[in-house]
A and B are shown apart, each in its own frame.
Chain A
């Protein structure tokens, strides 16, 4: 990139970063105490959002380096290029080959320009699907780390079909005949997060969030005031405890005192414990079972009422009849 291109990119990213990045070095201890109290004010909750976005949290590559004995990054979607905001590759986990995928944020401005602040383009999602299908071919589990404010809302992203790319991931991840595990490690932002989160089991780090829209986006659209992001965050119910109570996620991975950034190795160790526990369970199942259970899980999601019609468990019953397939 030449100077003017970099300048333009910086401008472009700054407009996003203004809305999404944060500085949170203070009051962590006090915050941690508040968090354990349960009931949170918008200000308390906002500190948690900031914690999830802390630039010093362990990134996907750092977690992989902590937990895998060996790892080779595999690049490119074989059509357009390589997206450095969404990485993937093959690693060894306690001697067992696994495929890792994840959004990759940078630690500083320079890294973040390369990583596009973890906002992936279509080629990132297509690479993820390519590597997931490769994993299926060789019988490897797929483990994904989600940390993105969303798919990149830019011109190039639309030109190359970001909608189509995410859509195909949602459909084809559902069909994978190997175990798929997803970890929300920081920001779980909308379709860009879901694009690699159709998994048999979904876990959230203690200080992460997962939402249909950013608190800022919700504030400006529904509350008509971008300054009410903290209030919107409360209303969206996007914390691990909320998603556990909704049955959307399967567990919460604890973070060290002060947050994941305080001790990367310990955070990674907690994640590894969960991976091993989950894989021990999932590796007992056939490929067909894994795909069917994953589809049933997502087909059952939603809350509504229905008078005089089907009872809950509609899809479970439907699927129990589909055992022959």
Chain B
């Protein structure tokens, strides 16, 4: 079954461990300080959230987190090995002002793009991870995000490892024009390869997941998990409201709505995610 034996390793070049004091910058500095929960307004002490996986201990509100926080709260300490970080965006269609937007996003996040790839272990089980970052231009998916996702998926294929993708995105990156649209087909073609090789692919949908990401890999997981209270949809609520010219019902497009409509398998709170993924990995062996 190892069709791509050694190839990805060679082609992907060296792998570097992500230092524990990783360079993600968190502009939500309030999270680490005393503040009130944006959902229930309960008073939270400094450091309280960090110890609770960025979930409000009073109401269960799931704060949006960046890839570094995801890694820290999910994988076995020291097990994360980043790859594909050298891939950088270019202004492929000469869109005015795009370079500036990219520089701002890089400065704000300390990251090169909206997707972070790596291998890691979850309770001792080896996986390939691809994690999106909403803080990087709204998690918008251009050529680099598409390439990174595709490499994560094909690395799973080559190494015969399950692939876990964390989605959060406003949609495709308009500044890359048609190239961004094609990334939907690209990632889906990579998933088609996994389908043929029976490699498990788990999608974890986090707040918010919209547009081309929903209409491609987010909805193609062998198991689709949603975090509680996440907004998940294709068209955004404002677009839909302007189409139907009426207010949307309460809870529309939330995880719970998608569960009821049959588009996600299960809603898993962040506190139970590690155990759930470990169970799913055990129950979905590669064949």
Contact = CB atoms under 8 A, between A and B. Distances in A.
B218 A163 contact: yes
Chain A interface main SS type: helix
Given A235-B96, A299-B150, A304 B12 contact: no
Given A301-B183, A303-B143, A155 B92 contact: no
Given A161-B263, A236-B93, A153 B243 contact: yes
A1 interface: no
A137 interface: no
Interface in B85-106: 86-90, 92-96
Contact of B235 (A153, A164, A172, A197): A153
Chain B interface main SS type: helix
Contacts of B252: 155, 158
A246 B178 CA distance: 9
A212 B263 contact: no
A213 B211 CA distance: 11
A238 interface: yes
B7 A309 contact: no
Nearest to A213: B174
Contacts of A213: 172, 174
A167 B216 contact: yes
B177 A304 contact: no
B3 A163 contact: no
A38 interface: no
Interface string A153-178: 11101111111101110111011000
B90 to A, nearest CB: 6
A238 B178 CA distance: 7
A191 B92 contact: no
Nearest to B197: A325
Kindly state the interface size class of chain A when it binds its partner: 35 or more
A221 B95 CA distance: 14
A302 B188 contact: no
B186 A191 contact: no
Given A167-B216, A304-B147, A212 B248 contact: no
A151 B189 contact: no
B215 A162 contact: yes
A170 B218 CA distance: 12
B74 to A, nearest CB: 24
B239 A302 contact: no
Contact of B242 (A15, A238, A301): A15
Nearest to B242: A15
A170 B216 contact: yes
Nearest to B91: A303
Nearest to A235: B95
Contacts of B177: 211-212, 236-238
A166 B215 contact: yes
A110 interface: no
Contacts of A227: none
B120 interface: no
A175 B192 contact: yes
Contacts of A172: 192
- Counting chain A CB atoms within 10 Å of each CB, which of B86, B196, B215, B218 scores highest? B215
- Counting chain A CB atoms within 10 Å of each CB, which of B11, B144, B172 scores highest? B11
B127 to A, nearest CB: 21
Interface stretch (A66-74, A254-262, A315-323): A315-323
Given A167-B220, A168-B220, A301 B182 contact: yes
A301 to B, nearest CB: 4
Contacts of A12: 243-245
A305 B178 contact: no
A49 interface: no
Contact of B11 (A174, A210, A310): A310
B185 interface: yes
Interface in B49-70: none
A159 B248 CA distance: 12
A96 to B, nearest CB: 27
- Counting chain B CB atoms within 10 Å of each CB, which of A167, A218, A315, A318 scores highest? A167
A313 B177 CA distance: 22
A5 interface: no
B195 A306 contact: no
A171 B94 CA distance: 30
A80 interface: no
B228 to A, nearest CB: 19
Interface string A35-71: 0000000000000000000000000000000000000
5 contacts: A153-B239, A162-B234, A167-B220, A301-B143, A318-B8
Given A154-B243, A301-B185, A308-B86, 12 more contacts: A154-B244, A163-B219, A168-B220, A170-B184, A171-B188, A175-B192, A190-B212, A294-B189, A298-B188, A302-B142, A303-B179, A318-B154
The 7 A-B pairs at the shortest CB distance, nearest first, are namely A302-B143, A170-B188, A163-B214, A153-B235, A303-B92, A167-B219, A212-B181
